[in-house]
Structure 1
Amino acid sequence: MRYYKGIEEAAYADSISYNPVIKQDDLLSIIVSSPSAEATANFNVASFGVGTSGAVPGETVEQPTYLSYLVDNQGNIEFPVLGTLKLGGLTRSAALSMIKTKLRSYIKDPYVTLRIQNFKVSVQGEVKSPGSFPINTERITLPEALSMAGDLTIYGRRDNILIIRENEGKKTYNYVDISKADFINSPFYYLTQNDVVYVEPNKVMMNNSAIGPNITVILSSISLLLLTYSIFTRRQ
């Protein structure tokens, strides 16, 4: 089954840029650093646990685990010293810029890393290995997600893949045809955190599913009738 029909034309169209947007219930890792470690101490809340060190085999050292920040239903987090920060609806780069601007009142030349820790997508339906997949890079395409699920089975519809997405607290959906290459320039080529991808079964699979149970019942009934008839004729 051929994918990406018309790739020659689609490849030269304007590509879609992608920058993840922070949403409600995102779990964020935010770490502040600067040339002065003492200056950043109040902005990094960490607990220490025992872990292994790669320098010396078997050696144990204390390793920090930094606090994560949950975006509430108003799009806010509570950050040390800075207080309430509204990050929901901002792109990752915009959120970094805002945090750096606020930190400059306390730190010279602050450096901030921000990651969405619970970034995942779910793939369901007619794929070989459906499931939810954690994404470490915060950037994944629809073909990559389908590949992680083992690709479509021969019964999956390539021309009508459903993507369910939450946008500003509302569920939205769109259908994508991966047999045609122009989908690589659509807003659904890149998936966002917690997207659900559903591959619809084709008519062959749906007909088999509908007929299968009925055939089982019919065959069982025929077997019972034949057995009854056989017992009755033997008694004659």
Structure 2
Amino acid sequence: MHRSAPRLTRILACAAVPVMLVVAGCSSDSDSKSEDSASSASPTPEAKKSPTVAPARFGKLPDPCDSIGEKTIEDLVPGTKTKGGTDGKSSDVSRRGSCSWNGLDDNGVKGSQYRWLDVSFLRYDSDASLGVSAEQRAEESYEKEIAKAKATEGAKDVKTSPAPGIGDEATTVNYRLRKTDEDFTYATVVARTENGVVTLTYNGTGYAGAKNPSTSDMTKDALKAAKEAVASVTTANK
């Protein structure tokens, strides 16, 4: 019994050797396959690409005070003392600008007619970092300008209607507003042409017993002036 113990120990030791080798071999193959699998599963990082957006169609704006013809100014704003208009202040004339005219047509005992006309321009560039085109930015601005006109403080009987045939899209906003103890009739035309937005506001009233202008007449004249202003954007970029 005592002599067989060392022999048994040697047999068990020898038997254990191949088992360890097999286990080691399997472990090595398994690790290698895992590494290969992990390596193939990890994609090669790629540099982030900036989104491609369409370039701006218009790169500049017209002189606001030259955007409406002299004859139109004479018809819409009779009695104006500044036919060349009053230029609005702008820190960047390539992106924004405005001009206004006002006049009083005094008809003596028949009363007087007051008119005020204002036109403003906004131009937008594409923003590649945000993936937004100049036209998309102008579309957003167009909607905001319409909302702004509709939200004019004190405005009554506000109505909007499409204005086809002016730029890519246009809307007329009509309302009445009382100021200086008189009722003024307003017609605002907001139009978008490519990446530019034009807002034209025309208003007036009758003094000393003169009849106030009708909404239809004011709208007709405002649309005429708006067409000229929008066309001037294209002309300025030729």
- Greater helix share, structure number: 2
The bucket for the TM-score relative to the shorter chain is under 0.3
Larger radius of gyration: 2
